[in-house]
Chain A
């Protein structure tokens, strides 16, 4: 073998060693700086122009959701309500099913748990618009809740983080909160089309149908 061939082989071995080291650096999250993939690539070819864009690493990633947030399914079906007074029970049932806390929960269960007829009945629907009876049911399932009369912006911000139920004073109707769609609220509505609202609640509709009492999961 000529010295030239031997030199070429040695160079190849060195290059492969640098590539192997670059692979080890990547696996350890060292993409740029000293002792990194970038440093190895510069050694492999000093004239190469690099514009590194290191990826998000497992050590930098946000913690996975815990509790009901890990099982929450905002696309959970909301069938139309059969009776005109059960909207609070329907939306309570939706939250319990959508969060995975009680996947096989029923509306009949919800009416019973809220308390028929003292807390919910055909004459008035839900008796306490602050949602105290709803919060008690959630607590029975181990869910912590808060309640407040909120503005559209407050509900919109909260809907990106949590779910719950809300009722408009003028609307006289309870719905569940799925999340947001653009600048609107995305709701689970058991009376689709009632007062012109389907599964989206706009800022204008919110203003017209409020004030809104919101029971939200913490």
Chain B
């Protein structure tokens, strides 16, 4: 691997680590699917080949609108 290839690989890894961080933040905030910023969107940025191949079944995210006791 040349120095230029090494630099490109490190840059790519840094970008992917940042996308993974953003995906973790999106999950923590309950933004699992849909347009960015969602975990789904960051996943496709990490691996574009996954687009259209997943059968999504994300966790239920409470929206706070349900009346307690109902």
A58 touches B6 (CB 8 A): no
Q: What CA separation (Å) do A73 and B64 show in the bound complex?
A: 14
**Interface magnitude class on chain A:** 20 to 34
B16 touches A16 (CB 8 A): yes
Q: Which of A3-34 contact B (CB under 8 A)?
A: 5-6, 9, 12-13, 16, 19-20, 23-24, 26-29
Given known contacts A1-B1, A160-B69, A180-B69, is B9 in contact with A9 (CB within 8 Å)?
yes
> Residues of A contacting B42 with CB < 8 Å?
23
| B36 CB within 8 Å of chain A | no
8 residue pairs A–B, Cβ–Cβ below 8 Å: A12-B13, A20-B46, A23-B39, A23-B46, A27-B39, A29-B58, A58-B59, A61-B60
Given known contacts A19-B20, A23-B46, A27-B32, is B67 in contact with A74 (CB within 8 Å)?
yes
> Residues of A contacting B6 with CB < 8 Å?
1, 5, 9
Interface, chain A (partner B; CB < 8 A)? 1, 5-6, 9, 12-13, 16, 19-20, 23-24, 26-29, 55-61, 72-75, 160, 179-181
B59 touches A23 (CB 8 A): no
B60 touches A27 (CB 8 A): no
B70 touches A27 (CB 8 A): no
**In-complex Cβ contact of B3 among A1, A26, A73 (8 A):** A1
B20 touches A24 (CB 8 A): no
